[in-house]
């Protein structure tokens, strides 16, 4: 307006009533608004406004506001009338003019409208009046909507038409607002007409005058009378006539914008204020405009009682809507409350993401709000309480119910919910602790015939999918949204669901036991979102998929699709997300892909697709995410430096792993917005160009160049240690890098240069990496001592240094701020003792110092580490007896409570086996059939031959004390460790008998007792160990018959050599004049007789090698787990592989 009127705006009478604005901070360093918080009287800085200054033709001068006021760059004072002396200091206020062409366009539009209105000849302009103080007239305000088709046919709203003669008589146009006309009445009062394209407002004190003007206008136009104004141009208008107040709000429009851009979780803050603005004494609640009616006292009391029944987990970054619920009499003004404008009853309650914690039951005051039509309690924590069935039945008027992700527990009261016959939207999604009874769910479908949205993802339904979808097809013709992801559904995939006439959103992801193929799709389909990933669907992707012309998201990843991608997919012109990854698709990528002009994300990774030229993606200007990794794909790039004007769109994520690349694609030089780039498992050779790091220096957070043939950098110092860099995850492992250790930028969190030819010491600059979490330096030629400052990094999470030449003592400076989970220092030259200060690292899970020169006694102090799972001390100079960690036999004290792998082999430990420890190793006393995330690689060595097993589960239990000086008997309580998979007691001085209790170790796969002084017979019950693959008792003093049957019939005679008294197969020595005794009945048979058959899920990983078993631990490339990509986009659903 300033540009058009040629005058600065006068803000002297401007009042800001606290309308809601939103702040969504997604990255640092961007400019934004200053926002004044009425409650805290502090200034909040928004940093979510990104300005493209490179395209602007003019910028505002520093310190100049739009109204010409001066702004102090450092501080500004914002006065409040009830606290006039209070100053607020805050950050610099940034001003940026709009682009000049846009300003000119706006000016032209306004001029055009003014010219058209001037054509109304019945209007006479009044002389310019002196500016006066605005007065509150408390006028009636009504709205009309003109049907544009009555004039000259259909046309867009931005085309303005001259109004016909007689439209308004005797009115004058305001000189302050050329869209406002007014007429003086006979009694000296005025009636006002405000024109806004096809909408108009009429304001007057007298309704009869308003009705007369309506009749006049109706005689000239096909008009709809909207009566008292509630909304115009997307702006809500609310009035409090009693207090003569009017409020305007664009809240609903803003919420729609936020929802469109997946920012629905943004927190509201207070209105931005100009830096020179002084707020008046009146200010309403910023979170809710006034209603025409005040709420009822009993409902206000019920709401306050409901609030008081919860703990509110609120912080500076967490906002709860109930914070605005206070002593105000009108609860209709509270955040999250919607009242009926005629009756004042509460009809809507939205407390989503309000940080409520506590239980809720059927007697809750919530259920006294019997007029509720909409109830949203999503994203809170109801502490695993049951959904209050008895209370819900009182809310018979509900049309919308959302209890998603609210930590409810137990069976969903579907029968009670099914009585809510008016319900059109039911959302119980992301409720991992809920179960749904199948028959009751069918009843619910039958009763809720008006249902439009049914979201039940993550609930445990466990029934055939056909039963649900067939009933929906018969009873729910109005259904538009169906979300049954991860519900345990099984059976044949029914095409019947696609016959639902109004279905737009279908999500069946992660129902792993579905089978069948996709049906032929009808061209009349209204589907916009189709998600059937991780469902076991097989067959071909039908060509009829091109009939889904309304489709926006298509996700069929992680299935068994085969054949070619149909070219008809190019017909999906509205498609923004296409994910066909992890299938068996083959052939070429259809050229029709490049007709998908709206495509933002394309994932074709992990298929068998052939050659693709990246230049084919040039036409996809909206493409931001491209995943082509792990195909039978040869990715070529015909881009050269000479055709840089033709390039791929600015990508955010690019994954080209295992794409047979031989060099860095040239088009990367022009990529400035990449946040993730992966080029691993290719054949890229030579030096890494500096452009790879500089192309997106301020956005690139994840870079994987592992498994190539890279030898170094163009300019190592300029490339890596760049303070501007935002790089957090850098993987250069399994290359041919030489020279000293490159120092990454200060922003680094995960750094992997393992399996290279790097050498030298760890540079002192590593002490400045205060964000470093995971450091992988293994399998290089590094030397020197560990810098103590590296140990002092409180962020250090994984330290993996095995296979180098590090020496000296391990720093003993671990503090209680230690967060390390895995420390793998094996195969180096460390000396001295283990650092006792490691006892402060209570989160330590893996401690591996094998194959060093450490001289110490057993670290009994480590027994109290609550999370320690793996302890490897093998091949050092440890000595002495393993003393009792708990001499007072305190049974309640935990000793190695989580330990399931211990390797003490090849040391000089002496004395008896640690009986007291056997009693305390609780983690080895249980079966762990359910596989947990793998984090170990186990190397099993026999006579110099080693075999490495990757991906060993945490359920693996190993005990190795071989090649020491232990003496005495093997305790019978070894049989209590029923979770053990491998025992190695070889090469010691053990005596006595082999314990018969070993038969209890039903999952045992390897047992090596060779090279001891054991006597007596081999217990016949050991033949019951069905999983036993390695058995070695060579070189002892054993006598009697060798057990036979099942696994024992597979062992070679080398397993028994050196025992003169043994007889029976496979030895040539027969057992006297008696035949071999029959094998004992199996454990399973015995258990079946008692009705409790055992079921074992362990898959053997070791095949019988004979004697001399040595189990070593080598923590592999995926120690614990390599952290997933540092961010996940909502439309890309893929669990870690």
Alpha carbons 670 and 648: distance in angstroms, whole number: 9
Q: Enumerate helices (H) and strands (E) in the chain, giving the number of each.
A: 15, 70
| Cα dihedral value 578, 579, 585, 589, nearest 10 | 40
pLDDT of residue 118: 55
Residue 314: CB partners within 8 Å, gap ≥ 6? 320, 323, 355
Q: Pick 723 or 7 by higher pLDDT.
A: 723
Q: What is the pLDDT of residue 220?
A: 57
- pLDDT digit string (tens) for 229-261? 777 766 777 766 655 667 677 766 676 677 666
Q: Which helix (H) or strand (E) holds 808?
A: strand 805-809
Look at 1126 and 770; give whichever has higher pLDDT: 770
What dihedral angle (degrees, nearest 10) is formed by the CA atoms of 839, 841, 845, 846?
A: -70
> What pLDDT score does 633 carry?
74
| C-alpha span between 752 and 735 (Å, rounded) | 11
pLDDT, position 1087: 34
Cis omega before residue 1066 (within 30°)? yes
Range with lowest mean pLDDT among 709-713, 872-876, 928-932, 982-986: 928-932
Q: Tell me the sheet residues that pair with 337.
A: 349
Q: What's residue 97's pLDDT?
A: 45
Whats the size of the chain, residue-wise? 1137
Residue 732 confidence (pLDDT): 96
With contact defined as beta carbons under 8 Å apart, do 970 and 916 qualify? no
Half-sphere exposure of 725 (CA within 13 A, CB side): 28
β-strand 982-984 against 1006-1008: which pairing, if any?
parallel
Tell me the pLDDT tens digit for each residue of 820-874. 999 999 999 999 999 999 999 999 999 999 999 999 999 999 998 999 999 999 9
DSSP annotation of 326 reads: S
- According to DSSP, residue 549 is labeled T
Instruction: Please determine, for residue 77, whether its predicted confidence score (pLDDT) is greater than 70.
Output: no
How many angstroms separate the Cα of 154 from the Cα of each of 145, 148, 158, 222, 234? 15, 7, 12, 14, 21
How many CB atoms are closer than 10 A to CB 633? 21
Q: Residues 144-199: pLDDT tens digits? A: 766 543 333 333 333 333 443 443 446 777 776 777 888 878 777 888 888 776 67
- pLDDT (0 to 100) of residue 155: 35
Report the percentage of the chain scoring pLDDT > 70. Answer: 69
Name the DSSP class of 318. B
What is the rounded average pLDDT for all residues in the chain? Answer: 77
Whether 449 and 423 have beta carbons less than 8 Å apart is answered as: no
What average pLDDT does range 394-421 have in this prediction? 91
pLDDT at 305 over 70: yes
pLDDT at residue 926, as a whole number: 83
For residue 793, give every residue at least 6 positions away whose Cβ sits within 8 Å of its Cβ, in sequence order, or none: 767, 769, 770, 772
- Where is average pLDDT lowest: 125-134, 581-590, 775-784? 125-134
Give the pLDDT confidence score for residue 377 in this predicted structure: 94
Looking at domain 523-533+547-649, which CATH architecture does it have? Alpha-Beta Horseshoe (3.80)
DSSP 8-state code for residue 528: S
**% the chain with pLDDT above 90:** 42
Which tens digits make up the pLDDT trace of 520-562? 998 889 999 999 999 999 999 999 999 999 999 999 999 999 9
Residue 143 has a pLDDT of 73
> Could you tell me which residue, 46 or 730, shows the higher pLDDT?
730
Q: Would you say residue 268 has pLDDT above 80?
A: no
CB atoms within 10 A of CB 995: 16
- The pLDDT of residue 782 is 97
Q: How do the domains of the chain map onto residue ranges?
A: 108-247, 523-533+547-649
Stretch 500-524: mean pLDDT, rounded?
A: 92
pLDDT tens readout for residues 1021-1051:
999 888 899 999 999 999 999 998 888 888 9
- Within 10 Å of residue 575's Cβ, how many Cβ atoms? 26
| pLDDT tens digits for range 948-969 | 434 445 568 999 999 999 999 9
Which of 712, 715, 694 minimizes the C-alpha distance to 703? 694
How many Å apart are CA 755 and CA 937, to the nearest integer? 16
Q: Are 337 and 331 in contact (CB under 8 A)?
A: yes
Q: Categorize the per-residue pLDDT at 107 as very low, low, confident or very high, splitting at 50, 70 and 90.
A: low
Whole-structure pTM value: 0.68
Is the confidence at residue 685, as pLDDT, over 60?
yes
pLDDT digits over 1082-1134, tens only? 333 333 333 322 222 222 222 222 222 233 333 333 233 333 222 222 222 23
Least confident of 224-228, 560-564, 990-994, 1054-1058: 224-228
Check if the beta carbon of residue 1051 is closer than 8 Å to that of residue 1067.
no
Contact 393, 416 (CB under 8 A): yes
Taking residue 60's Cβ as centre, other Cβ atoms within 10 Å add up to: 13
Please give the backbone phi and psi of residue 442, each rounded to the nearest 5 degrees, phi first: -65, -40
pLDDT of residue 878: 97
Residue 114 has pLDDT above 50, yes or no: yes
Span 318-341, average pLDDT: 82
Pairing of strands 553-555, 577-579: parallel
């Amino acid at each position: 307006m300033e540009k058009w009127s040629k005058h600065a705006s006068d803000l002297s009478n401007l009042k800001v009533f606290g309308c809601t604005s939103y702040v969504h901070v997604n990255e640092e360093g961007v400019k934004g608004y200053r926002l004044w918080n009425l409650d805290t009287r502090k200034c909040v800085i928004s940093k979510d406004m990104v300005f493209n200054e490179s395209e602007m033709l003019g910028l505002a001068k520093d310190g100049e506001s739009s109204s010409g006021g001066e702004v102090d760059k450092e501080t500004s004072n914002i006065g409040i009338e009830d606290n006039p002396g209070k100053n607020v200091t805050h950050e610099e206020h940034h001003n940026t003019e709009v682009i000049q062409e846009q300003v000119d366009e706006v000016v032209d539009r306004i001029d055009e409208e003014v010219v058209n209105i001037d054509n109304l000849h019945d209007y006479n302009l009044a002389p310019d009046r002196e500016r006066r103080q605005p007065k509150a007239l408390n006028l009636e305000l009504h709205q009309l909507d003109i049907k544009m088709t009555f004039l000259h046919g259909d046309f867009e709203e931005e085309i303005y038409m001259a109004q016909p003669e007689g439209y308004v008589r005797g009115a004058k146009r305001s000189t302050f607002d050329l869209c406002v006309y007014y007429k003086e009445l006979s009694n000296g009062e005025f009636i006002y007409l405000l024109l806004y394209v096809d909408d108009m407002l009429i304001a007057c004190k007298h309704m009869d005058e308003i009705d007369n003007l309506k009749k006049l206008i109706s005689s000239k136009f096909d008009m709809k009378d909207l009566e008292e104004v509630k909304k115009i141009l997307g702006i809500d208008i609310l009035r409090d006539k009693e207090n003569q107040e009017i409020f305007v709000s664009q809240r609903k429009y803003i919420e729609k914008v936020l929802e469109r851009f997946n920012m629905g979780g943004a927190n509201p803050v207070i209105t931005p204020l100009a830096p020179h603005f002084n707020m008046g004494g009146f200010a309403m609640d910023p979170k809710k405009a006034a209603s025409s009616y005040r709420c009822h006292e009993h409902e206000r009391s019920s709401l306050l009682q409901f609030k008081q029944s919860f703990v509110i987990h609120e912080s500076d970054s967490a906002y709860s809507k109930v914070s605005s619920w206070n002593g105000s009499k009108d609860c209709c003004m509270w955040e999250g409350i919607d009242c009926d404008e005629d009756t004042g009853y509460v009809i809507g309650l939205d407390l989503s993401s309000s940080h409520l914690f506590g239980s809720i039951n059927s007697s809750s005051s919530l259920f006294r709000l019997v007029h509720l039509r909409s109830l949203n309690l999503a994203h809170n924590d109801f502490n695993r309480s049951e959904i209050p069935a008895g209370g819900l039945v009182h809310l018979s008027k509900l049309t919308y119910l959302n209890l998603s992700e609210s930590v409810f527990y137990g069976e969903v009261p579907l029968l009670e919910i099914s009585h809510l016959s008016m319900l059109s939207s039911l959302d119980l999604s992301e409720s991992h602790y809920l179960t749904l009874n199948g028959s009751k769910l069918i009843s619910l479908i039958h009763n809720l015939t008006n249902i439009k949205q049914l979201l039940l993802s993550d609930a445990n339904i466990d029934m055939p999918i056909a039963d649900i979808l067939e009933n929906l097809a018969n009873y729910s013709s109005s259904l538009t949204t169906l979300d049954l992801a991860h519900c345990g559904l099984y059976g044949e995939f029914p095409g019947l669901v696609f016959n639902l006439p109004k279905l737009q959103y279908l999500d069946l992801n992660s129902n792993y036991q579905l089978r069948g193929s996709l049906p032929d799709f009808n061209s009349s389909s209204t589907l916009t979102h189709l998600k059937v990933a991780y469902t076991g669907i097989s067959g071909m992707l039908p060509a009829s998929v091109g009939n889904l012309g309304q489709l926006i998201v298509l996700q069929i990843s992680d299935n068994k699709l085969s054949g070619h991608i149909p070219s008809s997919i190019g017909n999906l012109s509205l498609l923004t997300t296409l994910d066909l990854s992890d299938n068996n698709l083959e052939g070429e990528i259809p050229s029709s892909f490049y007709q998908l002009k709206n495509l933002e994300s394309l994932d074709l990774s992990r298929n068998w697709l052939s050659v693709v030229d990246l230049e084919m993606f040039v036409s996809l200007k909206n493409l931001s995410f491209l995943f082509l990794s792990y195909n039978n794909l040869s990715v070529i790039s015909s881009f050269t430096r000479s055709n840089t004007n033709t390039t791929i769109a600015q990508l955010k994520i690019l994954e080209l792993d295992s794409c047979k690349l031989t060099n860095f694609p040239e088009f990367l030089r022009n990529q400035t917005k990449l946040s993730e780039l992966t080029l691993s498992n290719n054949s890229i050779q030579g030096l890494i160009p500096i452009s790879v790091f500089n192309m997106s220096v301020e956005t690139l957070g994840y870079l994987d160049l592992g498994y190539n043939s890279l030898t170094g950098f163009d300019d190592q110092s300029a490339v890596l240690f760049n303070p501007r860099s935002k790089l957090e995850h850098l993987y250069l492992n399994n290359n041919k890098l030489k020279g000293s250790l490159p120092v990454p930028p200060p922003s680094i969190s995960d750094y992997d240069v393992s399996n290279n030819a790097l050498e030298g010491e760890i540079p002192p600059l590593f002490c400045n990496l205060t964000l470093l979490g995971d450091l992988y330096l293994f399998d290089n030629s590094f030397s020197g001592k560990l810098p103590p400052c590296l140990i002092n990094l409180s962020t250090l999470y994984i330290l993996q240094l095995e296979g180098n030449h590090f020496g000296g003592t391990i720093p003993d400076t671990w503090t209680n701020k230690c967060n390390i989970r895995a420390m793998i220092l094996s195969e180096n030259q460390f000396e001295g003792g283990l650092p006792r200060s490691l006892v402060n690292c209570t989160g330590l899970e893996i401690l591996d110092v094998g194959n060093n020169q450490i001289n110490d006694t057993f670290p009994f102090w480590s027994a109290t580490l609550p999370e320690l799972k793996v302890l490897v001390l093998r091949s050092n100079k440890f000595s002495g007896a393993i003393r009792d960690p708990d001499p007072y036999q305190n049974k309640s004290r935990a000793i190695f409570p989580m330990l399931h792998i211990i390797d003490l082999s090849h040391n000089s430990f002496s004395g008896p086996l640690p009986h007291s420890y056997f009693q305390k190793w609780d983690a080895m006393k249980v079966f762990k059939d359910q596989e947990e995330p793998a984090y170990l690689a186990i190397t099993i060595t026999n006579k110099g031959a080693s075999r490495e097993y990757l991906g060993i589960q945490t359920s693996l239990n190993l005990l190795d004390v071989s090649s020491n000086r232990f003496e005495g008997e093997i305790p019978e309580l070894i049989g209590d460790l029923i979770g053990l998979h491998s025992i190695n007691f070889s090469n010691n001085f053990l005596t006595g008998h082999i314990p018969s209790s070993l038969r209890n170790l039903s999952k045992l796969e390897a047992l090596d007792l060779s090279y001891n002084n054991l006597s007596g017979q081999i217990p016949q019950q050991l033949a019951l160990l069905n999983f036993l693959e390695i058995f070695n008792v060579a070189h002892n003093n054993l006598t009697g018959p060798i057990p036979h049957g099942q696994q024992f019939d597979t062992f070679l005679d080398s397993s028994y050599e050196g025992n003169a008294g043994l007889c029976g197969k496979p030895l040539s020595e027969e057992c006297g004049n008696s035949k071999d005794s029959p094998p004992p009945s199996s454990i399973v048979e015995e258990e079946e007789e008692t009705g409790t058959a055992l079921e074992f899920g362990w898959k053997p990983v070791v095949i019988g090698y004979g004697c001399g078993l040595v189990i070593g631990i080598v923590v592999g490339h995926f120690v614990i787990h390599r952290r997933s990509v540092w961010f996940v986009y909502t439309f890309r659903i893929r669990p870690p592989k």
